[in-house]
Chains A and B, each alone.
Chain A
Amino acid sequence: AQSVTQLGSHVSVSEGALVLLRCNYSSSVPPYLFWYVQYPNQGLQLLLKYTSAATLVKGINGFEAEFKKSETSFHLTKPSAHMSDAAEYFCAVSGRDYKLSFGAGTTVTVRA
C-alpha cells in the first residue's frame, strides 16, 4: 500500500520568494510520485513525476522536485513565486497498479 503526507495545509509566500511544498511518502514497492496542481473550478494538471529515473525532476512552470529515498520525501520547489502560482497542490503516489493515493493538499497563496 502507498500513501503520502503533505506537511502544511496552507503556504503563503511573497511574489518572487521561494515556494517549498513538503511531501513524504510511504510505499512497500518502488513508488511512482507525482505533483498535481488544481486551479479553482478546474481539473488536475500534472506538474511533474518521478518514475525511478533522475532523482531531480523538472516540471512545468518552473517547478522541480527531488526524490530522496533515505528521507522518503518528494518536496516541490520553485525558486521565485508568481501570482499565477496561487492554487491547490497535491502530492500523489502510485504503485504498479497505477491507482493514485493523494495527499491532503496544500493551498498556496502569493502575496504581492
Chain B
Amino acid sequence: SAVISQKPSRDICQRGTSLTIQCQVDSQVTMMFWYRQQPGQSLTLIATANQGSEATYESGFVIDKFPISRPNLTFSTLTVSNMSPEDSSIYLCSVGGGGQWGTEAFFGQGTRLTVV
C-alpha cells in the first residue's frame, strides 16, 4: 500500500486568492490523480499528473484554474486559482495505476477547502 500525505488538511480562504495543495507519497509512483468532492456529492476526477509530462485535464477542468506540478515521482501540487465559493470542496490526491499497485488506487486524507 501507499501512505499519502496531503497539506493542508483544511483551509478557509478569501475569494479571489489561490491555494496550493501538496501531495507527498512514501514511494515512487508513476500516476497521480487529483479528485474533487463537492459538498454532499461524489468524487470527480480533475486531472492525471504523470512525472515528466503535462497534466491531462478532464472535461470541465482547465489548467488556468487548476495548475498542477509533478516535479518528481513522489510529489505533486494542485493549485486552486482565483477562488470563488463554488470551489469549496474536498480535494483528494490519489496514486495507483498498474505495476506494484495493481489496479488499486490509494487516497490521501483530502484537503477541505472553504472559500468565503
User: Which of A32, A42, A99 has the most B CB atoms < 10 Å from its CB?
Assistant: A99
Residues from chain A with Cβ under 8 Å of B48 in the complex: 97, 99
With the chains together, A16 CA to B96 CA distance in Å?
Answer: 35
Q: Which residues 67-113 in B have Cβ within 8 Å of A in the complex?
A: 92, 94, 96-98, 102-110, 112
Residues from chain B with Cβ under 8 Å of A41 in the complex: 112
For A103, give the chain B residue with the smallest CB separation.
B42
B105 and A98: CB pair below 8 A? Answer: yes
With the chains together, A49 CA to B104 CA distance in Å?
Answer: 8
B interface, size bucket: 20 to 34
With the chains together, A104 CA to B44 CA distance in Å?
Answer: 10
A98 and B98: CB pair below 8 A? Answer: yes
Q: Which residues 35-58 in B have Cβ within 8 Å of A in the complex?
A: 35, 41-45, 48, 58
User: Which of B31, B97, B107, B109 has the most A CB atoms < 10 Å from its CB?
Assistant: B107
Q: With an 8 A cutoff between CB atoms, is A46 at the interface?
A: yes
For A45, give the chain B residue with the smallest CB separation.
B107
Q: With an 8 A cutoff between CB atoms, is A94 at the interface?
A: yes
Q: With an 8 A cutoff between CB atoms, is B33 at the interface?
A: yes
A43 and B102: CB pair below 8 A? Answer: no
Closest approach, in angstroms, between the C-beta of B37 and any C-beta of chain A? 9
For A98, give the chain B residue with the smallest CB separation.
B97
Q: A100-B94, A102-B44 are in contact. List 17 more A-B contacts (CB 8 A).
A: A34-B104, A36-B107, A42-B110, A43-B92, A43-B107, A44-B92, A45-B107, A51-B103, A97-B48, A98-B97, A98-B103, A100-B33, A100-B35, A100-B45, A102-B43, A104-B42, A105-B41
B→A interface (CB under 8 Å): 31, 33, 35, 41-45, 48, 58, 92, 94, 96-98, 102-110, 112
5 CB < 8 A contacts A-B: A43-B107, A43-B108, A46-B106, A98-B98, A98-B103
Closest 9 interchain pairs by CB? A98-B97, A43-B109, A44-B107, A102-B42, A32-B103, A102-B43, A43-B107, A51-B103, A104-B42
A→B interface (CB under 8 Å): 32, 34, 36, 41-46, 49, 51, 90, 94, 97-105
